[in-house]
Structure 1
Amino acid sequence: MNVTVWNECRRQLDNPAVTGFYPQGIHQAVIDGIAAADLHLTAALLDDAECGLPQDLLNQTDVLVWWGHIAHHEVPDELVYRIRDRVWNGMGLVVLHSGHYSKIFQLLNGTSCRLHWREANEKERIWCIDPTHPVAEGLPETFTLKHEETYGEPFMIAPDGHTVFQSWFKGGETFRSGVALQRENGRIFYFQPGHESCPSLLDENVLKIIGNAVRWCAGSSKKPYPEMCIPKAFENDGV
């Protein structure tokens, strides 16, 4: 399975608050954390040629993992539409943390994807509210992150999202922290933990969820999307 981990990589490699946890960047922490024999993992960065995602790489990617924060506007619209088309045709997409505000996640939801947030590095408790979902496989009923950026409802995503994980924060906020969606042939999973100055992407449960999400999203249909709405047989029958 070909998995591309995309990271905007802004204010990371030169920021002690980030390098203390992720000395080689968030992308490398994710790659190291979910590495397995069945995954061929490739890093892609915003400052790479073609923003790290040339068409040939996109065409070979089974699942794209996306982390972005302050440079959403730097991703060209043309690339966003090419990613959307790949999702429509069966590429999986795993969106992490502040990637909720990325152009691609907004486009696929058809909403602003806004939410409440505050940067307090407080405790987060994550509850698995659908233990039957494949992304929840092998996870405990609940686990705690000692320090994470606080997100809160309302979370303005598409109403058809299926909530797998729900979080509570020390300040009282609650948040749909793990949500599964499908757009045409492609599966999408949003997972909230992963602020750059918090060690969440080193947590074994967080990494387990990301790995599960990658494998679930890889189950997207690879059947080509029909170019016509009317089956050709109808035309042949003169209907």
Structure 2
Amino acid sequence: MTQVTVWNEYRHERTNPIAMDIYPNGIHTAIATQLQEEYGFSAQTATLDEAEHGLTVEVLNRTDVLIWWGHMAHDEVDDEIVNRVQARVLEGMGLIILHSGHYSKIFKKLMGTSCALKWREADEKERLWVVNPAHPIAAGIGEYIELEQEEMYGEHFDIPTPDELVFVSWFEGGEVFRSGCTYSRGQGKVFYFRPGHETYPTYHNPQIIRVIANAVNWAADGRGAQPQYGHVPVPLEQIHR
């Protein structure tokens, strides 16, 4: 059974009355519960204020896919934990970065860019167009997902060119955005998925959870050959001098 860990700062839901009302037990709990009950994953949660941010060596070693939501406390994430997560991704753990996690230390470290973008909060309609309908992350979605209210993210999004682009968003105010991007880093698969502002019920939308579940399956899927690094004292063939 695929083991998922949903990580969340869990700050907005304890300080913002609107977020608290929408996600009384936190965004992490809302996502983990649906992934477990509706898709059969084994899902646990971890939050910023736990010891080692809940991401101990033991937790990460048994995690197949880590889901990450952060916003107001990116700088509070300890660099040692970031390095630990990066190492697990390179070893083969899947990573799904949600919404404002684009500015997280771990995403910026893996991307090697600023991951900067434009944004606006104006209760705008968002339409996420499926631009790669053959991709498994888009399975069962149809042509688009429509969200009546969301925070706008706009281009330019300072990320490396995605390995695959699955979704492109259009917003009521006119902006567009690369909203579903895949990458390979070492043996690990990374997916960035844009929707999920804390004051909107985005993670109660069945299609959004379907995308996240699809991404879990994709990120946990089998890997290729295991590379070997370091000194090779014995050659495969005899060396003639």
Shorter-chain TM range is over 0.9
Cα deviation for residue 50 of structure 1 reads 0.8
Equivalent residues of 1:124, 1:168 under 8 A apart: yes
Q: 1:80: which partner in 2?
A: 82
Percent identity over paired residues: 47
Residue from 130, 133, 141 that aligns with 1:131: 133
What is the CA deviation profile of residues 145-194 of structure 1, one whole-angstrom value per residue up to 9, with x for unaligned ones?
00100000000111243210000000100000111111110000000000
Residue from 140, 143, 166 that aligns with 2:142: 140
1:189 and 2:195 aligned: no
1:206 and 2:208 aligned: yes
Q: 1:15: which partner in 2?
A: 16
Where structure 1 has 5 or more consecutive residues not aligned to the other structure, the ranges are none
Equivalent residues of 1:90, 1:222 under 8 A apart: no
Within a 5 Å distance, the mapping from 1:85-234 to structure 2 comes to 85-219=87-221, 221=223, 224-228=226-230, 234=235
CA distance in 2: counterparts of 1:18 and 1:181, whole angstroms: 30
Cα deviation for residue 143 of structure 1 reads 2.2
- Look up the equivalent residue of 1:81 and give its one-letter code: N
TM-score, length basis structure 1: 0.94
Cα 1:196–1:176 shift into 2, 3 Å: same
2:109 match: secondary structure:
helix
1:234 match: secondary structure:
coil
1:30 and 2:31 aligned: yes
CA distance in 1: counterparts of 2:14 and 2:184, whole angstroms: 34
CA distance in 1: counterparts of 2:40 and 2:29, whole angstroms: 18
Cα 1:152–1:16 shift into 2, 3 Å: same
Cα deviation for residue 33 of structure 1 reads 2.4
Cα deviation for residue 38 of structure 1 reads 3.8
Of stretches 160-169 and 201-210 in structure 1, the one that deviates more from structure 2 is 160-169
Say how many residue pairs are matched: 238
Q: C-alpha root-mean-square deviation of aligned residues, in Å?
A: 1.7
Q: 1:4: which partner in 2?
A: 5
- Look up the equivalent residue of 2:14 and give its one-letter code: L
Cα 1:102–1:77 shift into 2, 3 Å: same
Of stretches 8-17 and 115-124 in structure 1, the one that deviates more from structure 2 is 8-17
CA distance in 2: counterparts of 1:90 and 1:51, whole angstroms: 21
Cα deviation for residue 114 of structure 1 reads 0.5
Equivalent residues of 1:90, 1:220 under 8 A apart: no
Of stretches 183-192 and 7-16 in structure 1, the one that deviates more from structure 2 is 7-16
- Look up the equivalent residue of 1:6 and give its one-letter code: W
Cα deviation for residue 119 of structure 1 reads 1.2
TM-score, length basis structure 2: 0.93
Equivalent residues of 1:90, 1:223 under 8 A apart: no
